[in-house]
Amino acid sequence: MTDLAAVKRALAAQRIETPSWAFANSGTRFKVFAQPGVPRTPQEKIADAAVVHRLTGVAPTVALHIPWDRVDDYAALTAYAASEGVGIGAINTNVFQDDDYKLGSVTNPDPGIRRKATDHLLEAIDIMDRTGSRDLKLWFSDGINYPGQDDLRSRQDRLAAALREAYDRLTGDQRILLEYKLFEPAFYATDVPDWGTSYAHCVELGERATVCIDTGHHAPGTNIEFIVAFLLRQGRLGAFDFNSRFYADDDLMAGAADPFQLFRIMYEIVRGGALDPAYGINFMLDQCHNIEQKIPAIIRSVLNIQEATAKALLVDRDALGRAQQSGDVLEANAVLMDAYNTDVRPLLAEVRADAGLDPDPVGAYRRSGYQEKIVADRVGGTQAGWGA
Provide the 10 A C-beta neighbour count for residue 157: 10
- Minimum distance, C-beta of residue 271 to ligand RM4, in the bound complex (Å): 26
Nearer to Mn ion among residue 17 and residue 307 (C-beta)? 17
Total chain residues near ligand RM4 (CB under 6 A): 10
The number of C-alpha atoms within 13 Å of 364 and in the hemisphere containing its C-beta is 18
The number of C-alpha atoms within 13 Å of 262 and in the hemisphere containing its C-beta is 27
One residue of 84, 179, 268, 307 binding ligand RM4 per CB under 6 A:
179
d(CA 345, CA 348): 5
One residue of 74, 139, 140, 167 binding ligand RM4 per CB under 6 A:
139
d(CA 80, CA 325): 53
140 binds ligand RM4 (CB under 6 A): no
- Minimum distance, C-beta of residue 245 to ligand RM4, in the bound complex (Å): 11
- The entry of ligand RM4, Mn ion, none near residue 92 (CB within 5 to 8 angstroms by kind) is ligand RM4
Catalogue the E-assigned strands of the chain.
17-19, 61-65, 87-92, 135-138, 143-144, 175-179, 189-190, 209-214, 237-242, 282-285
- Minimum distance, C-beta of residue 388 to Mn ion, in the bound complex (Å): 19
- Position with the least CB separation from ligand RM4: 139
261 binds ligand RM4 (CB under 6 A): no
Nearer to ligand RM4 among residue 188 and residue 333 (C-beta)? 188
- Minimum distance, C-beta of residue 138 to Mn ion, in the bound complex (Å): 10
DSSP letters, 30-83, are S-B---TT--SSHHHHHHHHHHHHHHHSS--EEEEETTTT--S-HHHHHHHHHH
- Minimum distance, C-beta of residue 196 to ligand RM4, in the bound complex (Å): 18
69 binds ligand RM4 (CB under 6 A): no
**CA 130 to each of CA 71, 127, 342: distance values in angstroms, whole numbers, following the listed order:** 12, 5, 44
- Position with the least CB separation from Mn ion: 241
Nearer to ligand RM4 among residue 97 and residue 154 (C-beta)? 97
- Minimum distance, C-beta of residue 336 to ligand RM4, in the bound complex (Å): 29
Whether the ω angle into residue 220 lies within 30 degrees of 0, i.e. cis, is no
131 binds ligand RM4 (CB under 6 A): no
- The entry of Mn ion, ligand RM4, none near residue 56 (CB within 5 to 8 angstroms by kind) is none
365 binds ligand RM4 (CB under 6 A): no
Nearer to ligand RM4 among residue 57 and residue 238 (C-beta)? 238
- The entry of ligand RM4, Mn ion, none near residue 218 (CB within 5 to 8 angstroms by kind) is none
Nearer to Mn ion among residue 225 and residue 241 (C-beta)? 241
Q: 375, exposed or middle or buried, with CB in 10 Å at 0-12, 13-18, 19+? A: middle
- Minimum distance, C-beta of residue 242 to ligand RM4, in the bound complex (Å): 11
d(CA 38, CA 199): 37
286 binds ligand RM4 (CB under 6 A): yes
One residue of 69, 135, 214, 307 binding ligand RM4 per CB under 6 A:
214
d(CA 349, CA 364): 13
Measured distance between the N- and C-terminal CA atoms of the chain, rounded to whole angstroms: 54
135 binds ligand RM4 (CB under 6 A): no
Q: Residues 3 to 32: which contact ligand RM4 by CB under 6 A? A: 21
Nearer to Mn ion among residue 17 and residue 214 (C-beta)? 214
Q: Residues 320 to 359: which contact ligand RM4 by CB under 6 A? A: none
Whether the ω angle into residue 42 lies within 30 degrees of 0, i.e. cis, is no
Nearer to Mn ion among residue 11 and residue 290 (C-beta)? 290
DSSP 25: B
Q: 185, exposed or middle or buried, with CB in 10 Å at 0-12, 13-18, 19+? A: middle
Return residues touching ligand RM4 (CB under 6 A): 21, 65, 92, 139, 179, 181, 214, 241, 249, 286
